[in-house]
Amino acid sequence: MNCPSCGAPMHLAAGSDYMQCEYCKNIHIADPDDEGVRLTEEPSPLSCPICSEPLWNATLTGVRLQSCRKCRGMLIPMGTFLDLIEQLRSKQGDAVATPKRASPDELRRTINCPQCHRPMDAHFYLGGGSVVIDGCDTCCLNWLDHGELMRIVRAPD
């Protein structure tokens, strides 16, 4: 993305949810979607494991991740995953939803890691078994389909 003021390149500012111009320091803040994800205008070199569309660099509460504009799935580094859930839970207050248990059939789905292209491991997320997520231990990445992150956040511990 280029700065609308001076035309210089803009990049995601460290630890933030906004893009900043390298030259004039102008700031651009993308509108969040219904889950709070802010897509940057920086494409990722990776493709979505569900619909094969390009992933885009994005942020959620300052955490960098990658998201698909079409299916809205998210690729989240394992190293920031638990912190992200804790941050989102602290913002939601005491509202907890009783989740519907995920179907064991969801464990049969096989998707390939966007980074190494090996099959990801489908498993129940430890917090209540209401969501099946896909993980690649080799690349330390989790894939969540649209809505799964918020189901995890709203589920009781």
SS3 content of the chain, % helix, strand, coil (to 5): 15, 35, 50
Query: Mind listing the pLDDT tens digit for each residue in 120-142?
Result: 999 988 665 678 999 999 999 99
Q: Which of 8-17, 72-81, 138-147 has the lowest mean pLDDT?
A: 8-17
| Secondary structure (DSSP) of 42-90 | EEEEEE-TTT-PEEEEEEETTEEEEEETTT--EEEEHHHHHHHHHHHHH
Q: What is the pTM of this model?
A: 0.82
> Under 8 Å CB-to-CB from 7, ≥6 apart: which residues?
none
| Separation of alpha carbons 45 and 64, rounded Å | 15
Is pLDDT above 80 for 69? yes
pLDDT at position 30, please? 75
Query: Mind listing the pLDDT tens digit for each residue in 43-52?
Result: 899 999 999 9
pLDDT at position 70, please? 96
pLDDT at position 22, please? 86
pLDDT at position 78, please? 97
Query: Mind listing the pLDDT tens digit for each residue in 105-116?
Result: 888 889 999 999
Stronger pLDDT, 112 or 104, i.e. the higher one: 112
- Classify the C-alpha dihedral 49-113-115-76 as positive or negative: positive
CA distances from 16 to 61, 70, 89, 152, 157 (A): 8, 24, 19, 23, 28
Question: How is residue 71 written in tokens?
Answer: 């299916």
- Taking residue 45's Cβ as centre, other Cβ atoms within 10 Å add up to 9
| Separation of alpha carbons 131 and 41, rounded Å | 30
